[in-house]
Amino acid sequence: MRTTFHLKTLAVAIATLSVASMANAAGLDRSGQDVTAFFQDGTYAEAVYTYIDADVSGYDSANVNPGQNDYERGNKTGDIAESYDFFRYGVKTDINDTFSVGVLYDEPFGAAAEYTQSNFVASNNPQASGGALVADGVAPQTAGAIALAESTAAGENTNVEVRSQSLTGILGMKFGANKNFQIYGGPVAQRIQSETKLRGLAYGPASGYTSTSNPDMDYGYIAGFSFSKPEIALKAALTYRSEIDHDIEISETYPIAAISAIAGQGGDPSTVPVPQILAASTQVNNYKITTPKSVNFDFQTGINPTTLATAKVRWVPWSDFAITPPLYNEVSTNAARPDGLNLVEYDDDQWQVELGLAKRVAPALAISGTVGWDSGAGDPTTSLGPVDGYYSVGLGAKYNVTENWAVSAGGKYLWFGDAQGALPTDKIVADFEDNDGFIAGVKISYQAR
């Protein structure tokens, strides 16, 4: 016998629409770190699969002189956003009418981008590139160094990949006369790794830079407060996640470091074989990355016996976040920049808002719709993720297969904010406009009250 939708459970119908934050929308945000599985009644479990495909394309800059910041529209970059997918799992149960426990898994932060054309691809003819740089007003010595750096990675593409996994344990305690209030918290284990390749004249002397950060596991915590009023299907929760400090082993190869050292010792770098330059410019060090704290607010309330309204708000202080690899930072240090450069940084904090309505249209079927907005993390932004937020619309449905089992599916369409891609030196190297993407998700859930 199929169960009917009760007002207080209609929120599950739109959950699959809220599982994905676009990775390039603000900083490295990917999953939105959703915790609503923990607020379901009774024993609850879910498995969610999300697929994201974005079209992020624009133009590089015809100005490749590293000493001049003026942007000049150049060639098309092609689509740099790689499609990706990820999973989320959650399980929760009530020990008694006071205590609840849960475990959540998600992939909170990530990036996947690759340039396959334009000035973000290392030239197969670096000597011609050096001549073009001289003609563009670049000093011959600098042009020669850039051309030699290009030769260490001839024909290779700029790309970045960041992956993370997170496991959260939660213990909740209800209190109040009707157990309407709950405090909850627990430990968070987080694993992160990354790989970055900078290629092409767009990066000037930094062309050829490569870094690989080994996987690192570290720990933080989650804490929150919630209120519920079941008779009107009202649930509200405020959730805080802490920063997590990672001490990561990183291997960096930066050809310009070896080229500069050889030239500084009076040698001719152009006579040194490329493998020798790469070996001399590779270091393995440890450095720190602090993934950002965040605050999520989740709210739902019944409008009538078959309709539910929801709201989600998320804040992440990406302006506090930076990736500062040791060798990259050391090479960029000079009299004008005594602290060197960060490889990745953001100017603004992220605000994300999503509003939704869910409607029961049959005893075992509910449909839902959402609208959303993401502020982005600033414009200009990193050339490795040139999107400044988005607007979105979504549709979804949930079908109760049995009394306990249900399947949900949904999709979102996203309009990305225009952004310019900048180097850490603030030089504008690309311009991206009129881009979009879509998200598709499916969820299987089990609930026993």
Q: Provide the pLDDT confidence category of residue 61 given band limits of 50, 70 and 90.
A: very high
Residue whose C-alpha is closest to residue 449's, from 42, 61, 34, 11:
42
Taking alpha carbons only, the member of 162, 193, 159, 153 closest to residue 79 is 159
Question: What value does the mean pLDDT take over residues 189-211?
Answer: 93
Q: Which residue has the tokens 């979504």?
A: 394
Locate tokens 């000035």: which residue? 119
Point out the least confidently predicted range of 99-113, 230-244, 267-281. 267-281
Residues in the chain: 449
* 58 close to 431: Cβ distance less than 8 angstroms: yes
Residue boundaries of the structural domains of the chain: 7-448
Asked if 341 and 425 touch (Cβ cutoff 8 Å), the reply is yes
Element (H, E) at 134: helix 126-135
Q: Which residues, in sequence order, are CB contacts of 296 under 8 Å at separation 6+?
A: 32, 33, 34, 35, 237, 238, 239, 241, 312, 313, 314
Q: Give the pLDDT band (50/70/90) at residue 94.
A: very high
State the pTM of this model.
Answer: 0.91
H helix and E strand count, the chain: 5, 24
The mean pLDDT of 248-272, rounded to a whole number, is 87
β-bridge partners, 164 = 192
Looking at the domain covering 7-448, what would its CATH class be?
A: mainly beta
What does DSSP assign to residue 445?
E
CA distances to 81, 147, 158, 260, 330 from 141, rounded to whole Å, are 35, 10, 24, 11, 21
pLDDT of residue 209: 94
pLDDT for 431 beyond 70: yes
Distance CA 140, CA 129 (A): 12
CB 408 within 8 A of CB 445: yes
User: What Rg value do the Cα atoms of the chain yield, rounded?
Assistant: 25
Considering only CA atoms, which of 87, 248, 50 is closest in space to residue 166? 87
Helices 140-151 and 126-135: crossing angle in degrees, nearest 10, is 160
Tokens of 140: 């011959």
Q: How large is the average pLDDT for residues 133-144? A: 79
> pLDDT value at position 25?
57
pLDDT for 5 beyond 70: no
